[in-house]
Chain A
Amino acid sequence: KLPTGLYKKVLIILHDCILPYMNEPTLMIDFLTVAYGIGGAISLLALNGLFILIHQHNLEYPDFYKKLYSLLDPSIYHVKYRARFFHLADLFLSSSHLPAYLVAAFIKRLSRLALTAPPQALLMVIPFICNLFRRHPACRVLVHRPNGPEDMSEDPYIMEEEEPSASRALESSLWEIQTLQNHYHPDVAKAAAVLNQSLSEMEDDISGLLELSAYELFDKEVKKKANAVPLEFEQVRGLFGKKNDVFAEHFTLD
């Protein structure tokens, strides 16, 4: 009913400025449920209000995790409300009573989507996944399956499946994180390599990583002091003069 811009604005301030002052916050249930069902950014924003209702007002939301699961799509790492979403997702997944298949499905989906994520999001999501592993040791099969089949021709995980229980996530392994160990950003590669070893007991604090921006990352790298600067040893022969230069194949200097 509302225009999208207004919808978003309302949802952003709902949990802070509206719900605490209402006598009957449960009246907002319908509004939030509809908003949650719309999808995209509006669903993400509605999560916050829903969380308060569930948490403080005994709202029973059927298939909440399924909905949450379906919210995960490639844009999640690129949208503006990334920090808010992952903060809430962390809260929702903090319970140690969740079934392992559900958490495994979340882990698998998050890491699958991470294949398109920018480095700042990766730096946040990898510790997030590590935390999930710590809370749910049953999911460790995803990174450690000593007696599994030697060779598989297909990833058992079904990305398109909307039902977490049917996604066969527990039969899969986190090859995505292994891929990210080859990421160009050194910090991402290091973070991904953590999953190779057995994890420490303490959970990582990801609150500082949620708001990480690309510019901050850049700034951090630029300000690092290096004691030695390695140099290219191949003699230059011009702008596009390298061996097998991609540019020379497609661009001319005119």
Chain B
Amino acid sequence: SNPFEVKVNRQKFNVLGRKTKNDVGLPGVSRSKAVKKRTQTLLKEYKEREKTNVFKDKRFGEYNTKISPEEKMMRRFALERQQNYGKKNIYNLNEDEELTHYGQSLAEIEKLNDIVDSDSDTEERGTLSAELTAAHFGGGGGLLRKKVSSGQQAEEEKPKSRKELIEEMIAKSKQEKQERQTRRENALELTEKLDNDWKEIQTLIAHKTPKSERKDKDVEKPKPDEYDIIVRELGFEMKAKPSERMKTEEELAIEEQARLQKLEADRLRRMRGVDEEEKKKKPSHVSADDLADGFILDKDDRRLLSYKDGKIDIENEEEEEKDVEEEEEGGSTDNENEDESEEESGGEDEEDVAADSHSDLESDLESEEEAAGNKEHKKHVTNENESLNVEQQDPKMEAAKSELPYTFAVPESYEALKSLLAGRTVEQQLTILERIQKCNHPSLAVGNKAKLEKLFGFLLEYIGELATLDLPELRTIDKLVLPLYNLCQMFPEAASDSIKFILRDAAHDMEEIIEVKGRAAFPGLDTLIYLKITSLLFPTSDFWHPVVTPAFMYMSQLLTKCRITTLQDVVKGLFICCLFLEYVSLSKRFVPELINFLLGVLHISLPKKQAHGYTVVHPFVPVGKNLELLLVCDKKDLESWQKQNLPLSIVTGLTSKTSRTEMNHIRLSCLALCFDLVKKCAALYESLPSFHEIMYPLKILLTQHVPVNEYPEKMQECYHSALKELENKVKHYTPLICEKKKPVPLKQYTPKIVKVLEFGRKQAGSKKEQERKELIRKHKRELKGAIREIRKDNQFLARMQLSEVMERDAARKRKVKELLGSLATQEGEWKAMKRKKGRN
């Protein structure tokens, strides 16, 4: 460009590594650019400042750069046609102009490519045969008219050949028509078949099932041509989208293993309880089954369904069928929608129609995939429909009434839940709970989350009540644990809160009783079940856990504070011992109360005598009443005892009715359980450094005091296995050594050397700080730029206003000059006249 317009920013000295951006500037060019821009925008605004009218450009896509010009013109044309479509303009002869080729509409020809055409209008549209045309427009026309006007007389007069001719003609046309129809039907059938095949194959491509299946499908087909196959396959391969490959079983197994490993690693980390800080940063533990959409544990739902008796099962199948129908309907509505949209876009090019069938298929496919995704949701919808149908149409209303409804509101109170579940079988209760969960999923409505959270509490309460019945319905509880687990996975906070609440209540009650009476009794079966459920819902191996740790404390209190006065107390205590063992089975934590209790239980199974070599602690006493609670002297009972599992119902239902022998058998079972627990403890605590000190009292008691020879054979086996487990542990002690203290580094005065990564950039500070500084710098620069722009705008405006004023002034001056000039000429003329007069 012109060297006089170039401004060079001269550098005084070069700096290595610095990039120079603005060493040459073109002030003139940039200024003129700025002025031009301002005249286009600011000046325009300024000039239109008091005008309210706006110029609107309604041309289609005028400012849309995304559409190519050709397409734009096409769409415009389409719009124009659409606007004109409905209008009947009597003066416009060209309105329904149709292009033809050999008397056939071109559009029709094109449409024939499309297989799906309506049946009704083929007659009118098809090519007209010569005979028909002749009959209609040639002699035939006159003939018919005559026939109508002259009636029968004329008919007889006319030669029969005509009538025959007509009949022949009609027959011919009919035959032709039929032929056409059959042909069309054949074509339709073929295309339909092709469509189906295509559908099948496309789904196969999308999911990519194992090859063997695909081959099977190929075999089933009626021997397609090899070339066809290749062509088709090629076509499909081109169209196949890169979908996610189905994983092989091995991969799935590996994945599952990795998931479990991760969860296990997580659990171990929590168990050690070392890096709690780190833990806080990490996202909360979510079950891997949780897809965050809440549709958790699909598999198990299915398994639940399998529990159902035949009737309900059939229902479910029906439901699924309905699902399929619904999906199909959905697909068809999709098509309709598309059709509608096509109609809207009116005279769009016809190729779209050809592509239509294909897109239909695709949409079908999509809808199928979607259906797989939110099947639940649809199910819900169908459920509703179903229930409506049942109510409105089903004639067998009575039969329907006995069935379960498909939708349930979440019970708002415990009583509501109870009444809902009362009188149902276990399977039905499960179904009800499942349906409640599904119908009121948090993603479906806003308030559902809170409702379902409450449901967890109600369910717990219900379980508690089942457990406190005279005959505890433990089988029901056994099944109800599943929905409880699912709810817990969905709402961990609420679940933990409600279980904590129960624990707090129980502990509070016990504390009050202790304060009043000085001693406490074991709680009912419901509390024991709650403690068991806690271990099912939460990981018990964590170093600290909001629910499990209080549960630990509560169980510890139970074992140390509750008095053992009856056989039931012993069973409950042993139940808690089992709980303790289960809680620590992974973490191998040391529970002194457990050992104490086992020692105490073994102690009360001995005949009364002074304990030597070991001391029992609270709640057991070395001497006093309630000793010999587990002692069995009856030889016959000893012999008739069979090793059996303790039924939990004896915790509540042990009455005076039970015979002495049964009591004795229970005693012996307790003892056997105790031996087994001792064995398990020994195995568990083997690694503890003072294992022998811990087990010492137990060992003394077992070796020196237990009357082994009196026990039945099975019991002796238990005893010996426990003792063996206790004794065959090596004693191994290594002196303790403290961890070395980390040496504190001395203060040093050498300068801190930092590696410079990039010149001209401040290195200090953390990344966050640097980002902040960068942002501040950018903001400052932008602010400066904005201020400068505004200043320039103002200058520009002022300049414009000045030029306006000057223009106005100049115009005024000019006008004044003109006026004065005219006045002067007037005056001059007048004076000249006067002078003339005077002269005259």
Q: List B contacts of A22 (CB < 8 A).
A: none
Contact flag A184-B287 (CB < 8 Å), given A189-B543, A236-B481, A252-B646: no
* B736 at interface by CB-CB < 8 Å: yes
Q: Would you list 15 pairs from A and B whose C-beta atoms are within 8 A, ordered by A residue? A: A115-B690, A148-B735, A176-B693, A178-B690, A179-B689, A184-B590, A185-B556, A195-B738, A214-B561, A226-B546, A230-B538, A230-B542, A238-B481, A241-B478, A253-B474
Contact B649 A173 (CB under 8 A): no
Mark contacts of A193-220 with chain B using CB atoms, 8 A cut-off: 1 yes-contact digit, 0 otherwise. 0011110000000000000001101110
* A174 at interface by CB-CB < 8 Å: yes
Mark contacts of B263-286 with chain A using CB atoms, 8 A cut-off: 1 yes-contact digit, 0 otherwise. 100110010010000001000111
* A151 at interface by CB-CB < 8 Å: yes
Query: A residues within 8 Å of B by Cβ?
Result: 73-75, 77-79, 112, 115-119, 142-146, 148-155, 173-176, 178-180, 182-186, 189, 195-198, 214-215, 217-219, 221-222, 224-233, 235-236, 238-242, 244-247, 249-254
Contact B546 A251 (CB under 8 A): no
Nearest to B696 among chain A residues (CB) is A159
Q: In the complex, what distance in Å separates the CA atom of A117 from the CA atom of B694?
A: 11
Q: How far is the CB of A6 from chain B (nearest CB, A)?
A: 18
Contact A254 B647 (CB under 8 A): yes
Q: List A contacts of B132 (CB < 8 A).
A: none
Contact A115 B592 (CB under 8 A): yes
Q: In the complex, what distance in Å separates the CA atom of A149 from the CA atom of B733?
A: 10
Contact A254 B474 (CB under 8 A): yes
A197: contacting residue among B481, B552, B741, CB under 8 A: B741
Contact flag A247-B546 (CB < 8 Å), given A236-B481, A254-B474: no
Given contacts A144-B738, A218-B550, 9 further A-B contacts (CB under 8 A): A155-B733, A186-B544, A197-B738, A225-B546, A231-B488, A231-B539, A232-B537, A236-B485, A242-B582
Contact flag A118-B556 (CB < 8 Å), given A231-B492, A238-B478, A254-B649: yes
Q: List B contacts of A178 (CB < 8 A).
A: 689-690, 736
Contact B485 A185 (CB under 8 A): no
Contact B546 A253 (CB under 8 A): no
Q: List B contacts of A189 (CB < 8 A).
A: 273, 543, 589
Contact flag A232-B560 (CB < 8 Å), given A214-B553, A253-B648: no
Q: How far is the CB of B433 from chain A (nearest CB, A)?
A: 14
Mark contacts of B585-622 with chain A using CB atoms, 8 A cut-off: 1 yes-contact digit, 0 otherwise. 10111111101100000000000000000010110000
Contact B582 A245 (CB under 8 A): yes
Nearest to B472 among chain A residues (CB) is A253
Q: List B contacts of A154 (CB < 8 A).
A: 731, 733
Q: List B contacts of A228 (CB < 8 A).
A: 284-285, 492
Contact B736 A250 (CB under 8 A): no
Q: How far is the CB of B166 from chain A (nearest CB, A)?
A: 82
Contact flag A184-B645 (CB < 8 Å), given A230-B538, A233-B263: no
Within 8 A of A (CB), among B627-668: 645-649
Nearest to A154 among chain B residues (CB) is B731
Q: List A contacts of B267 (CB < 8 A).
A: 230, 233
Contact B532 A230 (CB under 8 A): no
Q: How far is the CB of A153 from chain B (nearest CB, A)?
A: 5
Main secondary structure of the interface of B (DSSP, over half): helix
Q: In the complex, what distance in Å separates the CA atom of A150 from the CA atom of B732?
A: 10
Contact B270 A230 (CB under 8 A): yes
Contact A217 B553 (CB under 8 A): yes
* B799 at interface by CB-CB < 8 Å: no
Contact B736 A142 (CB under 8 A): yes
Q: In the complex, what distance in Å separates the CA atom of A67 from the CA atom of B561?
A: 29
Within 8 A of A (CB), among B484-517: 485, 488-489, 492-493, 495-496, 500, 503-504, 507, 511
Contact A231 B645 (CB under 8 A): no
Q: How far is the CB of B537 from chain A (nearest CB, A)?
A: 6
Contact flag A229-B538 (CB < 8 Å), given A151-B734, A153-B732, A250-B578: yes
Contact B478 A112 (CB under 8 A): no
* B584 at interface by CB-CB < 8 Å: yes
* B547 at interface by CB-CB < 8 Å: yes
A251: contacting residue among B585, B646, B692, CB under 8 A: B646
Interface centre among B288, B536, B647, B732 (most CB of A within 10 A): B536
Nearest to B504 among chain A residues (CB) is A222
Q: In the complex, what distance in Å separates the CA atom of A238 from the CA atom of B476?
A: 10
Q: In the complex, what distance in Å separates the CA atom of A125 from the CA atom of B285?
A: 36
Q: List A contacts of B474 (CB < 8 A).
A: 239, 253-254
